Structure 1
Amino acid sequence: MRICSILRGALVSSLLVFAACDDNTSNLGVEVMPDGDFTISTQTDYPVNITSFAVDSILARTTTAYLGKFTDPYTNTVFESDFLTEFYCPEDFKFPDKSLLADPENPEARSVELNLYYSSYFGDSLAAQKLAVHELTRVLEADESYYTNLDPTQYYDVNQAPVQEQAYTAIDMIHGDSLFASNGVHMLTIPLPKSFGDRLFKAYYEHPEYYKNSEEFIRNVFKGFYLKHTQGDGSVLNINYVYLDVYFDYKVKSSTGQVDSLVTAFSQFRATPEIVQENRFSMKNIDQLIAQNNDVAYIMTPAGVFPEVELPIDEISLNDTINAASLTIYRKNNLNASKYQMGTPQELLMIPKSELGSFFEEQKVPDNITSYYTTLSNNQYTYSNITNLVNTLRRQRRDNPDYDKDPDWNKVVLVPITRVTQTTSSNTVITVRVLHDLSLNFAKLKKEDIKLSIIYSKYQDSK
């Protein structure tokens, strides 16, 4: 049923700015009133308190892996990242028949390498860095929720030497990185010991059932790698694809029709959304950043600082009907002369502070009831109608004598996000998934003149 309110009175034209019709009556934000006329009583602006809320971790799972370290001279914060990943094995995977191998009695790989493909990076392209590749000793379980402060030492043997170590730069001038720059993709190749490839190759011929799917492969053959940043500062790679390539020789038919020609081929195991890939983030000097300036609130991603907003529900009328509620937060320009500038968060999700973990773990999307998102526009973040949230908190205050026992009952957190969207047949764009924004972003928000604007509608008897 489509419901619209008929507005009368001298201020009807003003009210039309704020009133709306909606097929979904739960989103009207107007409480039930007796029959009669509505009229605007007032618009009241309530001061809002906004602070910087330091977070030590966020949900880690993503299709992008981050590797490297960057110290920002403007904020003096230090960001470091590495990642753990499993590898996908296609169902009913097969290597060549054993009889086709160069030495059927002793299957061995020709070589093996780990390839990291990335289309972007942050920082100095020639900053010298170093990584270590450790083999995992414990399975990353697909049904667990991993956060970016996970302890990698729980997943590999710290007393075991790494499988490989390698120095690198974001753009490899020595090995011809420019070959990949033409299509916007860079590649970092890490040669691994042949013995590691031999192990994977031989395991197939001894236990082919271990290669029937990813779960069997991961549990019985190879649990994955931890790629650890070990040295250097200045750049962070945004890795899109991780491939493990195993090269081997086998026989094919020659021009004579005999199976006697030896060729080299390779099989590829990839890090894909079907398996688990987790980032480990570390952000230092966050507390010092927050303490040095009380005039602004900060946003820093991927795991650093979110703005915390305390909504002034105690100041709001309990009796008048709320017709509209809005909140605008202003970004302050950075006077930052450093060479490498972090990006600015484009989309901010507003959720109750108590739901910071569960919202992402349960893969929720904004419902415009207790969760909302907005996009940066004209240097400000505007939540144009959070009436449902304000009414929900107001009812809690009115109906629950112990409403304020929880110190965070009226607090929301603004979380930088990226949305996964889908376009319907009617060309409507809907949000199907919300993820943490894991790029290096920074913003300052003004604390002064932040107001929660409430438009009240008061019942006026028509007699």
Structure 2
Amino acid sequence: MDFKRLILGLAFGGILLSGCNDELSQVGPSIQPDGDRSFVYADTFQLEASTIKLDSVYARTVNGLLGQIYDPLYGNLKTDYICQFYCPENYKFAHEPIDGKVDSMAFFIMYDEGGYVGDSLAPMQAKIYQVTKPLARNYYTNMNPEDFCDLQTLIGEKTYTAYDLSIPDSIRNITDTSDPDYYTPNVRIRISTDIAQRFYDETVNNPSSFQNQEAFNKFFPGFYVTTGFGTGNILEVAQSSFFIYYKYKSTTEAGKDTIIHTREQFNVTKEVIQMNQIENGNIEQLLEPNEEFSYLRSPAGVCTKIVVPASAIKEKIGDRIINGLNFSMKAMPQEEWLYAFEAPDNVLLLPEDSVQSFFENNKIEDNVTSYLATFGEYATNTYSFGNISSLLQVHLENKPDEDLNLILLPVLRGTQNSSSSWGSSGKPYTTSITNYMKPSGVRLKKDKEAMQIVVLTSKYND
């Protein structure tokens, strides 16, 4: 059998060098016995591609998006989020506020330098509402804030721009994170002091509310963070936190009385729930019948569906062994208008009926039933998935009479460098795949030539 595989390998190399055709090729007649000849086939088939609506995506993350932006091609995108906060077990204030009174409370939306899409100077308004009902563990982006919040009671608001002109370059240029003046871009929103005082009073009068996370969530279900007026910018939120500020009495080393200003801090962490809401508008033009392009847009919005004629392939190849099926999608150049969306760096290809379980179970590509492609990794403006023949083979084994429906959608790939035998960093490998939450969009070619595939199969004449 090893000899046969060697001959087949040489045959496939010859086919790839000489071009694809549908004719049977007999391999090695001069060196193989008559009863042990191998045959290689190259059959051409036509795929179908279309753009379909993607109402929501699974987004279990502590990161969020906040804002609204309009793109002439990809339509309107509005984003906001609801979040809980992590509370240590048996929490209490580190110090006793003077006279049992706190001073103020503020909510912080923190993001990285350049962590936004759109016009950095577009005036935006952030608004905060208190969550009044326990959050359900639903991480899909079509949640309805009205199910959890009292939207008639505003507890904080702030007008901001993503690039804060009040911060001087001397502060922005500080790179030492231990420097007390180190600047992290943020939107600071003052919250009603009544909420902060009620929070402290609860720690004194009903400490069981802070016994564990479940008890804390019932007492303090969280915040809904959204926008009011303004469009043209979306923040990529890296961290959400609130601070309660107060003063307490202390003594100096010399024994003199002094007053210390301090704060208590609560953060959104992976242990608690954050739910992102994505609203898409004006995307009808992407869904219209189109012979030239299909579309990808994130977050949610639309994705590309690909139909592989599996039943016709099965009828054509019979019981031959599937050896090769290279697949790629050619992307068109990006639009050139101001703040045009960028193409997503990574896209995932997998069966339509496995999308939900893939993300909910935190899977990564296995190159059997799911494949990852990086934009332009092997060719300009191309997502190349390589040989996806295993995907077709698995489908034919389970559903030989049905066509194979695949979904292509943008993802965020987490990586880690592998170690080489020489001690240096090797090629990165995937550690996580999640739905891509950054605004992006790309047109993919779907004309007849772009949608042709060649299936390489083999058969032994035993």
Both proteins in one fold, TM over 0.5: yes
TM-fit CA distance, 1:370: 1.6
Question: For residue 460 of structure 1, what is the aligned residue in structure 2?
Answer: 461
Aligned equivalent of 1:102: 98
Residues in 1 aligned to 2:6 and 2:185: alpha-carbon distance in whole angstroms: 64
Residue 32 of structure 2 is matched in structure 1 by none
- Distance in 1, matches of 2:429 and 2:9, equals 33
> Hey, what's the Cα distance between the residues in 1 that align with 2:311 and 2:184?
54
Q: What's the secondary structure of 1:45's corresponding residue?
A: strand
Match of 1:327 in 2: 327
Distance change (3 Å), C-alpha of 1:384 and 1:169? same
Alpha-carbon distance in 2 for matches of 1:38, 1:54: 49
The structure 2 residue matched to 1:242, chosen from 230, 240, 243, is 240
- For residues 111-137 of structure 1, the C-alpha deviation after alignment (integer angstroms, 9 at most, x for no partner) is 111111111111111111112100001
Letter in 1 for 2:266: F
Give the alignment partner of residue 407 of structure 2, picking from 406, 410, 413. 413
| CA contact 2:134–2:148 (8 Å) conserved in 1 | yes
CA distance in 2, matches of 1:345, 1:5: 44
SS at match of 1:350: strand
Q: Tell me the CA shift for residue 38 of structure 1.
A: 6.1
Distance in 2 (CA, whole Å) between partners of 1:178 and 1:188 is 20
Letter in 2 for 1:392: V
Structure 1 residue identity aligned to 2:139? Y
Q: For residues 151 and 386 of structure 1, what CA distance do their matches in structure 2 show?
A: 39
Preserved contact between residue 324 and residue 456 of structure 2 (Cα < 8 Å): yes
In structure 2, the CA distance between the partners of 1:181 and 1:279, relative to structure 1 (3 Å rule), is farther
Distance in 1, Cα, partners of 2:158 & 2:305: 41
Structure 2: distance between partners of 1:127 and 1:4: 66
Superposition pairs of residues 242-321 of structure 1, within 5 angstroms: 242-257=240-255, 260-291=257-288, 293-316=290-313, 317-321=317-321
Deviates more, 1:353-362 or 1:234-243: 353-362
Q: CA deviation at 1:45?
A: 2.0
Aligned partner letter, 1:6:
K
Change (3 A) 1:309 1:181: farther
The CA deviation at 1:145 is 3.1
Deviates more, 1:194-203 or 1:205-214: 205-214
For residue 63 of structure 1, report the CA deviation from its aligned partner.
2.5
Q: Secondary structure at the match of 1:232?
A: coil
Q: What pairs up with 1:366-377 in 2 under 5 angstroms?
A: 366-377=365-376
Deviation of residue 292 (structure 1)?
A: 7.1
After TM superposition, the score normalised by the length of structure 1 is 0.85
Contact 2:129–2:224 (Cα < 8 Å) also in 1: yes
**Partner residue of 1:87?**
85
Residue matched to 1:31: none
In the TM superposition, residue 340 of structure 1 has moved relative to its aligned partner by 0.6
Q: Which residue of 2 aligns with 1:210?
A: 209
Separation (CA, whole Å) in 1 of partners of 2:413 and 2:173 = 28
**Aligned counterpart, 1:24:** none
Q: Deviation per CA, 1:36-68, whole angstroms, max 9, x where unpaired? A: 746342212211111111101101322211000
Unaligned runs of 5+ residues in structure 2 are 17-34, 176-182, 421-425
**Aligned partner letter, 1:328:** S
Cα pair 1:8 1:37 within 8 Å, conserved = no
Counterpart CA distance in 2 for 1:5 and 1:163 is 75
**In 2 relative to 1, CA 96–380 (structure 1 residues): closer, same or farther, beyond 3 Å?**
closer
Q: 1:424 to 1:202 in 2, by over 3 A?
A: same
Letter in 1 for 2:258: S
Asked whether the 8 Å contact 2:139–2:274 carries over to 1, the reply is no
Conserved? CA contact 1:8–1:39, under 8 Å: no
Query: Which residue is equivalent to 2:178?
Result: none
Q: Does 1:389 align with 2:386?
A: no
2:19 corresponding residue in structure 1: none
**Aligned position for 1:25:** none
Is the partner of 1:439 in helix, strand or coil? coil
Aligned to 1:140: 135
Q: Secondary structure at the match of 1:163?
A: strand
Name the count of aligned residue pairs. Answer: 423
In 1, the alpha carbon distance for the partners of 2:102 and 2:11 equals 77
TM superposition score normalised by structure 2: 0.85
Secondary structure at 2:4's aligned position in 1?
A: coil
Q: Which amino acid aligns with 1:84?
A: I
Give yes or no for the alignment of 1:114 onto 2:128: no
Query: In the aligned structure 2, how far is the partner of 1:248 from the partner of 1:424?
Result: 48
**In 2, Cα distance between the equivalents of 1:211 and 1:14?**
70
Taking every aligned residue pair, what percent have the same amino acid on both sides?
28
- Larger displacement relative to structure 2 (165-174 or 441-450): 165-174
Q: Does 1:201 align with 2:194?
A: no
Aligned-partner Cα distance in 2 for 1:8–1:110: 78
Distance 1:15 1:61 in 2: 44
One-letter identity of the residue aligned with 1:196: I
Residues in 1 aligned to 2:270 and 2:238: alpha-carbon distance in whole angstroms: 11
Where does residue 41 of structure 1 map in the other structure? 40
Task: Name the CA shift for 1:12/1:425 in 2 (closer, same or farther; >3 Å).
Answer: closer
| Deviation per residue, 1:195-227 (Å, 9 max, x gap) | 11111111111122322433322222x111001
The CA distance in 2 between the partners of 1:178 and 1:18, in whole Å, is 62
Letter in 2 for 1:139: P
CA distance, structure 2, for counterparts of residue 309 and residue 347 of structure 1 = 17
1:161 matched to 2:153? The reply is yes
**Given residue 128 of structure 1, which amino acid in structure 2 is its aligned partner?**
P
Query: Hey, what's the Cα distance between the residues in 2 that align with 1:63 and 1:5?
Result: 54
Measure the CA separation in 1 of the matches of 2:430 and 2:48: 30
Distance 1:442 1:37 in 2: 52
Once residues 118 and 169 of structure 2 are traced to their aligned partners in structure 1, the CA distance between those partners, rounded to angstroms, is: 17
Which letter maps to 2:249?
K
Tell me how far apart the structure 1 counterparts of residues 5 and 411 of structure 2 sit (CA, whole Å).
38
